[in-house]
Amino acid sequence: MALGKIVGKTTTNEFEFVVEQETKKFEYVEVNHKNYGRVLCQIDEIERDEDNEIAHCIVLGYKDDEKVKTPRIPFEPGAEVSLAEDDLIKSIIKLDNPQSGAQMGKLDGKDIDVFLDLNKILSMHMSVLAKSGSGKSYAVGVLIEEMITRNIPLLVIDPHGEYSTLKFKNNSKDDIKKLKGFNLKPQAFNVQEFGDPNIVPGVRPIRLGGSADKDELIHLMPSKLTNAQLAVLFSSLKSIKTPDFGSLIGALEAEESNAKWVLISMIERLHNLEIFSESNVSYNEFLKPGVCSIINMKGVDPEVQELIVYKLCKDLFELRKKGKLPPFFLIIEEAHNYCPERSFGETKASKIIRNIASEGRKFGLGLCVISQRPARVDKSILSQCSTQLVLKVTNPNDLKAITASIEGLTSSTEKEIQNLQIGTALVTGLTEVPLFINIRPRKSLHGGKAKAFIEDSTFVEKVDEFKEKKILPIIKPANFSKALQGNMRTILVPCYNFLCVDEGVEFNLLIEMANGGIVFDKENFKTKLLPDMKLIDQKKINILRYAFKKNKFKEADLISALGLNLGINEDLAYLAKIGYLNKVGDVYSLSDKYVFSKLSNQKNSFIIESEEIGYDEKLPTKVNLDDIIERLKAFTTIKDRTECYLVTLED
């Protein structure tokens, strides 16, 4: 179908044509060149004025003796521009190689299957970048399915347990129908998981090698060592043959220096994590052809996650360099947590991931980093990823990071990243031009979404069932279990736990929302109210300060101390009326119902737990959250708040 004719100045790389038939940005077009025959081009931008619609095009290439070449002679003005035929698109972009390619989906706007070259992905490193909820984990799941099918050993660092469902078939009726369009059907894949069995039942425990050289031991320490501690550590290491944690603790105990105690505490902490063990899992177990090994770190402390990623990556890389492990593909989800941009700090794993990015391809170790915050990922690592899979990104800083890491990205394509639909990805590095792909449905069940309580139920039904379970964030009294045995009534008090900061020191304040009091004794539910500073002027504040210093005082004492007289009687009467002062006879005292000291004196270390709980009564919220926030702002800086319930008991 003819779309228009070339006008104006042309080059071997670009040209413009007047649009006569409706078309769209990034559409593939072809022009018949008098010297080269059919040439594939792509619309890069479309402009419209009062008279015409002009399409700007880039030249992609033509086929010559099974090779793709670019013209060396520009098109002639007046040449006809037509909608590109599918056969020309396939021959130039080379998307139809099912033998060595990963079937990722269809070319956007076309019924053309896209097979990405797996050899290039595995040997060139890859990054998958997108904002949260744009489908990056889903797209990676499709890629993993293709790699398992081709018996590529895979290791996935999975902080949230999103990829566990690869072992289940996709049961979505809509997806099953769409899969038929790709000549595919639902499939469960061979997966083995390692994690904390106490958190994720059924996973194998993560047990890594318990021995380490002295440099590695120093690197594993939770904090930086002093010179005295380093001297004691080196002295102890000399006296043992194999520097494992157990023998090192014994050697340290024999040292005379007091610096040993901090070291022993650190090493015992590492030892007690139980991830460093002499009875460790053989590293060959992690890498099996046709099997995806998942390091499921759901619920694992972030500091411990860093140690696991560091130790695992380091040992696997060293063994791969020695040829003791097969070539494999390492996928790191939420990569900004393990290899952040250096301005955001270093983690234990930063250096080894940088080494893998720069040297891994030489030794048959492919790397894929995935992140929803590209700006926070180490730029040197992103720059080593020659293949990029980019889904929707809107954050300006993240867009800049993507632009800096992708060569040949046009301003038009950069703008389009912000407008991508969920499930549509921009792929660069595998072909001469960026490709927009509609990702195919997963053959396996997708795990990167909210977990369903009942299969095939609607989202609203899932929420309703969660409510019925009465799983709530609660703060319990210490005697909760014992009190329940005495048939006491359980009452839930709505609260907010505010994270505040004063003079650089953070602290928590628990404020109950039934009356607006700060909870300072959760066992007996004792509270103090926040004064409303809008009710008092500076003169009354000075009176309260004086009252804070004195246990009791009379009006004459106040006048003598402050040198004030006019209106003092009215001010004292007002402060007594609003409850900030108590008056007995002619003696005043500060009310103990309110907090007049530093708020940090009322700080708490209460633990909020999400539990299923039965209760007799839930108190209603009677105070306005915005009013509480305004009162707090007069005394402190609020950094965050968490909604919860305080469990109280009564006979």
Q: How is residue 284 written in tokens? A: 């060959």
Residue 98 pLDDT greater than 60, yes or no: yes
Q: How is residue 601 written in tokens? A: 């004196």
Q: pLDDT tens across 268-296, in order?
A: 777 766 677 665 667 888 888 889 999 99
Give the pLDDT score at 283: 82
Q: pLDDT tens across 510-548, in order?
A: 999 999 999 999 988 999 999 988 889 888 888 998 988
Segment 212-236 mean pLDDT? 76
Residue with tokens 């539990």: 611
CATH code for the structural domain at 2-93: 2.40.10
Q: pLDDT tens across 403-445, in order?
A: 887 776 666 677 788 888 888 999 988 877 788 999 999 999 9
Give the pLDDT score at 450: 36
Segment 33-57 mean pLDDT? 92
pLDDT over 90, % of the chain: 40
Give CA–CA dist 394/130, Å, rounded. 9
Give the pLDDT score at 411: 66
Q: How confident is the model at residue 211 (pLDDT cuts 50, 70, 90)?
A: low
Q: How is residue 502 written in tokens? A: 């004063």
Q: pLDDT tens across 448-477, in order?
A: 553 333 233 343 344 344 445 566 788 888
CA quadruple 82, 86, 89, 92: dihedral sign: negative
Q: What angle do CA 263, 237, 214 make, to 5 degrees?
A: 80
Give the pLDDT score at 406: 76
Give the pLDDT score at 466: 44
Which residue has better confidence, 487 or 599?
A: 599
Segment 389-413 mean pLDDT? 81
Q: pLDDT tens across 575-587, in order?
A: 999 999 999 999 9
Give CA–CA dist 268/245, Å, rounded. 8
Residue 483 pLDDT greater than 70, yes or no: no
Backbone φ and ψ of 32, nearest 5°: -85, 110
387 residue type, one letter: T
Q: SS3 of 447, please?
A: coil
Q: How is residue 163 written in tokens? A: 């990829």
Domain at 533-590, CATH from 1.10.10.10, 2.60.40.10, 1.10.260.40, 3.40.190.10: 1.10.10.10
Query: How distant, in Å, are the alpha carbons of 135, 178, 218, 316, 589 from that of 212?
Result: 39, 51, 10, 14, 65
Q: How confident is the model at residue 56 (pLDDT cuts 50, 70, 90)?
A: very high
Could you give the residue ranges of the DSSP H alpha helices within 532-624? Answer: 538-549, 555-562, 568-577
Q: What is the pTM of this model?
A: 0.65
Give CA–CA dist 268/252, Å, rounded. 11
Give CA–CA dist 208/313, Å, rounded. 11
Q: How is residue 607 written in tokens? A: 């633990």
* Beta pairing, strands 53-64 & 2-7: unpaired
Which residue has better confidence, 268 or 87?
A: 87
Average pLDDT along the chain = 86
* Beta pairing, strands 435-439 & 424-428: antiparallel
Q: How confident is the model at residue 247 (pLDDT cuts 50, 70, 90)?
A: confident
Give the pLDDT score at 222: 66
Residue 500 pLDDT greater than 50, yes or no: yes
Give the pLDDT score at 412: 67
**444 has which bridge partners?**
169
On whether the CB atoms of residues 179 and 464 are closer than 8 A, the answer is no
Give the pLDDT score at 159: 93
Give the pLDDT score at 484: 60
On whether the CB atoms of residues 236 and 225 are closer than 8 A, the answer is no
Residue with tokens 């639909």: 421
Give the pLDDT score at 468: 52
Residue 169 pLDDT greater than 90, yes or no: yes
Give CA–CA dist 353/341, Å, rounded. 12
Which residue has better confidence, 300 or 156?
A: 156
- The DSSP result for 487-501, as a single string, is TPEEEEEEEEEEEEE
Residue 225 pLDDT greater than 80, yes or no: no
Residue with tokens 């909608």: 83
Q: Within 13 Å of residue 375, how many CA atoms lie on the same side as its CB?
A: 9
Give CA–CA dist 257/54, Å, rounded. 80
On whether the CB atoms of residues 523 and 479 are closer than 8 A, the answer is yes
Give the pLDDT score at 453: 30
Give CA–CA dist 259/403, Å, rounded. 49
CATH code for the structural domain at 101-206+281-439: 3.40.50.300
Backbone φ and ψ of 540, nearest 5°: -70, -30
Spans of all domains in the chain: 2-93, 101-206+281-439, 210-277, 471-530+597-650, 533-590
